[in-house]
Amino acid sequence: MLARLRKNPAAKWLGLALVAAALAVLPFAVEATAGRGWVRIIDFALLYIMLALGLNIVVGFAGLLDLGYIAFYAVGAYMWALLASPHLTANFPAFAAMFPGGLHFPIWTMIPLGAALAAVFGVLLGAPTLRLRGDYLAIVTLGFGEIIRIFLNNLNAPVNITNGPQGITKIDPFSIFGVPFNKPLAVFGLNIPPVTLYYYLFLLLVVAIIFISLRLEDSRIGRAWVAIREDEIAAKAMGINTRNVKLLAFAMGATFGGVAGGLFAGFQGFVSPESFTLLESIMVLSMVVLGGMGHVPGVVLGAVLLATLPEAIRYTVVPAQKFLFDRQVIDPESLRMLLFGLALILVMLYRPAGLWPSQVRKREFAAAEKAGRVEPEQFPDRTDASEGARL
């Protein structure tokens, strides 16, 4: 039945229309049932989807373990904050003379600039790590992420560029075609709150990033990334320029992170180094692994679950404890992280390929289990991937 529906173009378009309609009414339904705070949580979940899809290019497609991915998120956020706030004009007389009305770059220029700057930083990270694999690459990328955070935390003296740990405030809200996103918008008598406006903007960009990811996965470059992931030596022997392809993976993955960082800055109206810690990198990596590395729908599922379930636990543990014990026994934050960690352990034990892995990943794990191995690190069908990338 499902196979016949997949082959029917009309059924596909009908399914897409139903999904689009559900996503269009989702914020109103959530606000009516759970409150406006949950719409804001969904907004952050969309940002995490962008981050997870960007990291999926590096980790899922190319097989390069990156523990400092949040640095690109920080680069995009701070670029947006500096170009859309009074910080530079207040601290640099030259900028105040050039821009007497302050720096207020529009969103149409900020998104491409954030993506381009993050891509440059991605190349800067990838260039010295071309010969590294596995644990060594993870350590270097971890150090890169921490270096960026420490720089942002200390670039307030002798010249105040980032305002240090105090962060940058008064960041301009988004405005598209003269419509500010920090005020409710009246459409046919319906007042759309700011969090819902942000939801639609983030959703539009998420759809664009998903489309780009799917096209990359099926492209010649995507097949080259898979070939490098399976066996870099075999890929190089088949004529793939592994240096350029790996640099492209770092740059392309960083691009999505830079876009998400800029949106985060405009959404929050404030950025500080505390928002870009190692824990955030681990969280985004967990989304990719939990959902299914290299599988775009699985990565989206993992990002949605890890962005929303911890908040759901936060809202339910206190009433549950009061119902069971008539008082609060365990701090909600501690219990939230405990249950969150336990869920990750159970998933990795019983679904090591992820909650929604790709068919290739399923075959790899099935072959590894038959051979008595835990992980399919040396999956035999690697030459085909290299040949496919060369076609």
pLDDT tens by residue, 161-198: 999 999 999 999 888 888 889 888 888 878 899 999 99
For the full predicted model, state whether its pTM sits above 0.85. yes
Rounded to whole angstroms, the Cα distance separating 219 from 222 reads 5
Residue whose tokens read 């305002």? 163
Rounded to whole angstroms, the Cα distance separating 193 from 77 reads 23
Omega before 158 cis (within 30°)? yes
Q: What is the pLDDT of residue 130?
A: 85
Rounded to whole angstroms, the Cα distance separating 353 from 363 reads 10
Are 244 and 267 a contacting pair, CB within 8 Å?
Answer: no
Are 295 and 354 a contacting pair, CB within 8 Å?
Answer: yes
pLDDT, one tens digit per residue, over 193-228 is 999 999 999 999 999 999 999 999 989 999 999 999
For helices 70-83 and 134-154, give the axis angle rounded to 10 degrees.
20
Residue whose tokens read 């459409």? 187
Q: What is the pLDDT of residue 387?
A: 44
Q: What is the pLDDT of residue 74?
A: 96
Rounded to whole angstroms, the Cα distance separating 173 from 303 reads 25
Are 259 and 77 a contacting pair, CB within 8 Å?
Answer: no
**Closest to 262 measured CA to CA, from 56, 146, 86, 115:** 115
Cα three-residue angle 289-293-298, rounded to 5 degrees? 85
Strand pairing report for 185-187 and 179-180: unpaired
Rounded to whole angstroms, the Cα distance separating 284 from 290 reads 10
Are 300 and 307 a contacting pair, CB within 8 Å?
Answer: no
Rounded to whole angstroms, the Cα distance separating 112 from 243 reads 25
Rounded to whole angstroms, the Cα distance separating 249 from 148 reads 20
Rounded to whole angstroms, the Cα distance separating 76 from 156 reads 18
Residue whose tokens read 């706030």? 85
Q: What is the pLDDT of residue 320?
A: 81
Q: What is the pLDDT of residue 20?
A: 92
Q: What is the pLDDT of residue 310?
A: 81
Are 153 and 165 a contacting pair, CB within 8 Å?
Answer: yes
Q: What is the pLDDT of residue 3?
A: 55
- Name residues of the chain where pLDDT drops below 50: 2, 378-391
Name the β-bridge partners of 180.
175
